[in-house]
């Protein structure tokens, strides 16, 4: 059974059509990427998946729960991190994780927090206030929060935007490994094409609120007759169609 099933989502803000009939699924252990130019509707789609924004039409089903009716039960098994979110500024890292361990109703909060500190290398930062951290360090804390409840579905909106290449690489490795070993499903947006190539099993190109192309990075490059995802992106973003020779 799919972890996430999104069907015919539409959302309009005043005269702007942000999302226009988007459908896709994410299965257990699968990493799916949404790619597309600024304003394509990626964040709006993610926020509808998470129940932060209500779709005008269409449905989101997470772990078999309809998000319009059964939000809390679905959200207990999902989590979210985004480059634009922060955590309470005056709280220390350890306190933040403790609070979220409780908000997610974890049974052994202290032990889980310790695991997260270990996993994301937060030991030296544990007693620091969130506002004092560098943005890369803050990103690691946000990811620790997002992994706390060992989510079956992890939604990430430009997760590595603030990380240095070394930290970003290690985080990607960690996330991909966990998707494989724990069967975690992931839904990701990113403007880093190499990140998408490395992480995603399947990519949906979004443009003007619609999915205009779908496939693995290799399949897409093949379909457009180019070398890599970056070239596909440029073709799609500039209105190109797949090359007819392939």
Partner 1 sequence: MGIVKRDFYALRGNGGRLLEIFFWPVLELVIWGFVSVFLRANNVPIAVSMLLGAVLLWQVVGRAQGELAAMFLHDVWSRNLLNVFVSPTSLAEFLTGHVIFGAGLIALSTAVMSGLALLLYGFGIATIGPALVPFVTLLVVMGWGLGVVSIAVVIRFGESTQSVAWVLSAAFQPFAAVFYPVGVLPPVAQAIAHAVPASYVFEGLRGVLDGHGIDWSGVAMAGLLDLLLVAGALAFVAHALRHARRTGRLSKFGE
Ligand X SMILES: Nc1ncnc2c1ncn2[C@@H]1O[C@H](COP(=O)(O)OP(=O)(O)OP(=O)(O)O)[C@@H](O)[C@H]1O
Per CB under 5 A, residues contacting Mg ion are 43
Contact residues for ligand X (CB under 6 A)?
13, 16, 18, 36, 38-44
Residues 150-169 that bind partner 1 (CB under 8 A): none
In angstroms, give the least distance from the CB of 30 to ligand X: 21
In angstroms, give the least distance from the CB of 245 to Mg ion: 34
In angstroms, give the least distance from the CB of 127 to partner 1: 11
Give me the residues paired with residue 11 across strands. 19
Burial of 164 (0-12, 13-18, 19+ CB in 10 A): exposed
Rounded CA-CA distance 124/127 in Å is 8
Chosen residue from 4, 6, 11, 200 binding partner 1 by CB under 8 A: 11
Helices (H), 29-153: 42-49, 71-75, 93-103, 109-119, 135-147
Decide whether 13 or 132 has the Cβ nearer to ligand X: 13
Which of ligand X, partner 1, Mg ion, none interacts with 88 (beta carbon under 5 to 8 A by kind)? partner 1
Give me the residues paired with residue 62 across strands. 4, 65
Decide whether 38 or 181 has the Cβ nearer to ligand X: 38
- Degrees to nearest 5, angle at CA 217 with 211 and 219: 85
Which of Mg ion, partner 1, ligand X, none interacts with 40 (beta carbon under 5 to 8 A by kind)? ligand X
Closest-CA residue to 185 (of 195, 168, 200, 204): 200
In angstroms, give the least distance from the CB of 82 to partner 1: 7
Is the CB of residue 63 less than 8 Å from the CB of residue 14? no
Chosen residue from 44, 189, 190, 192 binding partner 1 by CB under 8 A: 44
The owner of tokens 């590595």 is: 160
Residues 48-77 that bind partner 1 (CB under 8 A): 50-54, 72-73, 75-76
Rounded CA-CA distance 46/34 in Å is 9
What secondary structure letter does DSSP report for 162?
T
Rounded CA-CA distance 193/104 in Å is 33
In angstroms, give the least distance from the CB of 187 to partner 1: 13
Rounded CA-CA distance 196/63 in Å is 24
In angstroms, give the least distance from the CB of 19 to ligand X: 7
List residues near partner 1 by CB under 8 A. Answer: 11, 13, 18, 43-44, 47, 50-54, 72-73, 75-76, 78-80, 82, 84-92, 95, 98-105, 129-131, 145
């Amino acid at each position: 059974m799919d972890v996430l099933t999104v069907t015919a989502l539409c959302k309009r803000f005043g005269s702007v059509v942000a999302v226009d009939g988007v459908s896709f699924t994410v299965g257990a252990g699968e990493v799916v990427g949404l790619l597309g130019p600024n304003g394509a509707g990626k964040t709006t789609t993610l926020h509808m998946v998470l129940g932060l924004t209500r779709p005008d039409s269409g449905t989101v089903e997470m772990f078999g729960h309809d998000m319009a009716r059964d939000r809390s039960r679905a959200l207990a098994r999902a989590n979210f991190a985004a480059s634009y979110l922060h955590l309470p500024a005056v709280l220390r890292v350890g306190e933040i994780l403790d609070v979220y361990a409780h908000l997610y109703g974890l049974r052994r909060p202290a032990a889980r927090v310790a695991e997260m500190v270990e996993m994301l290398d937060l030991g030296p930062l544990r007693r620091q206030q969130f506002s004092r951290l560098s943005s890369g360090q803050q990103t690691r804390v946000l990811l620790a929060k997002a992994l706390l409840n060992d989510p079956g579905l992890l939604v990430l909106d430009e997760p590595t935007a603030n990380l240095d290449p070394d930290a970003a690489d290690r985080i990607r490795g960690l996330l991909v490994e966990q998707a494989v070993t724990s069967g975690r499903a992931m839904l990701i947006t990113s403007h880093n094409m190499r990140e998408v190539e490395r992480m995603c099993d399947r990519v949906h190109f979004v443009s003007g609120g619609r999915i205009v192309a779908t496939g693995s990075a290799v399949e897409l490059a093949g379909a457009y007759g180019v070398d890599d995802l970056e070239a596909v992106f440029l073709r799609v973003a500039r209105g190109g169609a797949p090359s007819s020779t392939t």
